Amino acid sequence: MISKDAQWLAEQAEISLQRLTPRILPILAQDEDAARFMERLTRYFPDFFASFIQLYGDHYDVFYHLEQTLIVIAQTYVQRSAELRLLDQRREDQPLWFQSEQMMGAVGYVDLFAGDLAGVQQSIPYFQELGLTYLHLMPLFRSPEKNNDGGYAVSSFREVNPKLGTTGQLAELTSELRQHGISLVLDFVFNHTSDEHEWAQKALSGDREYQAYYRMFDDRTLPDQYEPHLREIFPEQAPGSFTHRPEISKWVWTTFYPFQWDLNYANPALFRAMLGEMLFLANQGVEILRLDAVPFIWKRLGTNCENLPEAHILIRAYNALMRIAAPALLFKSEAIVHPRDVRSYIGSDECQISYNPIMMVSIWEALATRETDFMRHTLNKQFTLPVDAAWINYLRSHDDIGWGFADEDAAELGINGFDHRYFLNLFYTGRFPGSFAAGVPFNYNPRTQDMRISGTLASLAGLEKALAVADPTLIDAAVRRILMVHSLILSAGGIPLIYLGDEIGTINDYRYVDEPTKAADSRWVHRPKADAAKYAQRLDEKTIEGRIYQNIRRLIMVRKTLPALANGDTRFVNAGNRRVLGFIRHDQILVLANFSEHPQSLDKRVLRQEWSPVDRVTDILTGKLFTPEDEFRLEPYQFFWLKRET
């Protein structure tokens, strides 16, 4: 990494832009919005330049790479449709659109939820019923037939998997969704490609230009120096971080599975190639790119090769280029790492939005312990974001749950992080006495004793076990638990994200073990095919599906009427009873949630210290008014959204 002082960078940026402008003007000559492009270029080029020079300034041909990069963005801009340019304009006028209380997200697999892209299009009425404004479709591009990590081994960033549809259909879908107020979110799996990607195939045939797109080594010398510092991500099925390929007698860097080859961003030609792929997606109308595995994109010997400063600079470089060529596009960070590192990617110059694994993990932690102290402590430290960013608040994703709280935060409450993780793993795999959860271990590492948890939300929340014993009390508790945790992601600000299937209480599907390419990866237990019969029951509140669905849907609709639940200020407060979580939104709504299966009463004197108007409040959800005489009591897993009455 090159460090230069800001003054020098600003001067050089200006000189470079003057010299490069004549190279791109001819490309824009016929474009009626050329002036807008040039305006944005002038505005964001210095940011891009500063990042680019820090990354590639020591390459003798850095100026050539700068020039080629600008040519790529000019060429893609020229191809950007009128519809998307209009969207660019709208987003520039209202850059914080994604912070609204109207935002509502869901994520699902094209094949498992709807069969194919046509099926997704036909599901739009359902998405509207749920109030969605944000739809994340899991990786849908061409990938290897068998070993493909659920699509996260991408063989082409431009060709939709033929089983799911065509690239033309994808562009149509983005537009159709947009007309219904829904932004399409896709993964940008940019840490690696599959070994079937054209670049990998060329590398395998001996082409040195493409070998330099990846991180390859002639022998074990360097891998042996890197490896001791690296974390194994899939220690059970894919131990180590390097894979030997006899065809070229080289070792390839493979952080995840052996068929997922890590890309080499130290090579400016690769930087540019991936820019082209990113802009291609932007021009298909994708509005948000989920930057998959962002912590891993830069490597440096002697470090753990996660969250390096260069990873941030790289994202900032791409971000500045998007502001110029496709300003409507946002980045979503997928960094499931230490809370400090999660937060480090978030901001308008890097990723505008990010998963909130800190809240997600805290919710499961508090469900297991029935104590909210650790959650409140952690979230008070880790929840606040820059004003121009937003969390994606979620309960389950397609991945495992790893107990990613900060050991320092735990230690401050006298909790031993290692022991607590051990407990949580026992609890969520159902091996702790009295546990309600039915989770499955994921990647147990005997060396570190670490493991993560697979399982659907409903199974982890107790519904599976309760149904197995057909115990109405347990079923009721599980349903209440499921609703309570949804009430939290719907009221904590940011964008709530539902994993499709959870809204009807889908439980684990163990049939994945019969499929050889899935059996070793327990994450498939929580990726079942949508069950049409169960979805049909969502309308009947006498069924479990219906009870869960109708209540979640009501919560979504109420959320949309409450600007105080839009992004921004969240303060976690002492509710005077450790079984009850409390937080205050914009000083206007007090959220209370009982994490216990027993009724809890609250001490109004404590609450009053945190929020003065507590004496006369109405629960927005039920309309119940609390006067100074009323006792403050929450039924098992009950939650309130309280507003003050005057």
Residue 247 appears among annotated catalytic residues: no
Shortest distance, position 335 Cβ to ligand OTU, whole Å = 5
Q: How far apart are CA 136 and CA 286, in angstroms?
A: 10
Comparing CB distances to ligand OTU, the nearer of 47 and 292 is 292
Shortest distance, position 241 Cβ to ligand OTU, whole Å = 13
Q: Are 584 and 570 in contact (CB under 8 A)?
A: yes
| Percent of the chain as helix, strand, coil, to the nearest 5 | 45, 15, 40
Q: Which of 152, 157, 427, 632 binds ligand OTU (CB under 6 A)?
A: 152
Q: Which of 337, 390, 507, 584 binds ligand OTU (CB under 6 A)?
A: 337
Apex 192 CA angle, 186 and 194, nearest 5: 90
Comparing CB distances to ligand OTU, the nearer of 233 and 273 is 233
Residue 292 appears among annotated catalytic residues: yes
Comparing CB distances to ligand OTU, the nearer of 341 and 349 is 341
Q: How far apart are CA 268 and CA 157, in angstroms?
A: 19
Q: Are 456 and 506 in contact (CB under 8 A)?
A: yes
Q: Which of 66, 73, 335, 475 binds ligand OTU (CB under 6 A)?
A: 335
Residue 397: which of 297, 309, 568, 523 has the closest Cα? 523
Stretch that binds ligand OTU, among 121-129, 329-337, 569-577, 605-613 (CB under 6 A): 329-337
Q: Which of 47, 111, 287, 292 binds ligand OTU (CB under 6 A)?
A: 292
Tell me the three state secondary structure of residue 294.
helix
295 binds ligand OTU (CB under 6 A): yes
Shortest distance, position 398 Cβ to ligand OTU, whole Å = 6
Q: In what helix (H) or strand (E) does residue 52 lie, and over which residues does it extend?
A: helix 34-56
Residue 244 phi, psi (nearest 5): -85, 130
Shortest distance, position 524 Cβ to ligand OTU, whole Å = 11
Considering only residues 437 to 496 of the shown chain, the ones binding ligand OTU according to CB under 6 A are none
> Which string of x and - marks every residue 602-641 that binds ligand OTU (by CB under 6 A)?
----------------------------------------
Q: How far apart are CA 410 and CA 414, in angstroms?
A: 6
Shortest distance, position 339 Cβ to ligand OTU, whole Å = 12
Shortest distance, position 261 Cβ to ligand OTU, whole Å = 11
> Which string of x and - marks every residue 18-47 that binds ligand OTU (by CB under 6 A)?
------------------------------
293 binds ligand OTU (CB under 6 A): yes
- Structure tokens of 309? 């400063």
233 binds ligand OTU (CB under 6 A): yes
Question: Which member of 196, 292, 399, 409 is catalytic?
Answer: 292
Q: How far apart are CA 414 and CA 409, in angstroms?
A: 9
- Structure tokens of 158? 């431009």
- Structure tokens of 342? 């999660």
- Structure tokens of 76? 């893609």
User: 């180590």: which residue's tokens?
Assistant: 240
Comparing CB distances to ligand OTU, the nearer of 365 and 399 is 399
Shortest distance, position 333 Cβ to ligand OTU, whole Å = 9
Question: Which member of 101, 196, 262, 334 is catalytic?
Answer: 334
84 binds ligand OTU (CB under 6 A): no
Considering only residues 357 to 416 of the shown chain, the ones binding ligand OTU according to CB under 6 A are 398-400
Residue 332 bridge partners (DSSP): 290, 353
Q: What is the DSSP string of 170-203?
A: HHHHHHHHHHTT-EEEEEE--SEEETTSHHHHHH
562 binds ligand OTU (CB under 6 A): no
Comparing CB distances to ligand OTU, the nearer of 292 and 464 is 292
149 binds ligand OTU (CB under 6 A): yes
Put the strands of the sheet holding 216-217 in their side by side order: 216-217, 250-253, 242-245
First and final C-alpha spacing in the chain: 59
189 binds ligand OTU (CB under 6 A): yes
Residue 118: which of 161, 160, 170, 159 has the closest Cα? 170
Comparing CB distances to ligand OTU, the nearer of 16 and 508 is 508
DSSP state at residue 230: P
Shortest distance, position 453 Cβ to ligand OTU, whole Å = 11
Tell me the three state secondary structure of residue 593.
strand
Residues at the site binding ligand OTU, with contacts judged by CB under 6 A: 149-150, 152, 189, 233, 256, 292-293, 295, 334-337, 398-400
Residues with catalytic function: 292, 334
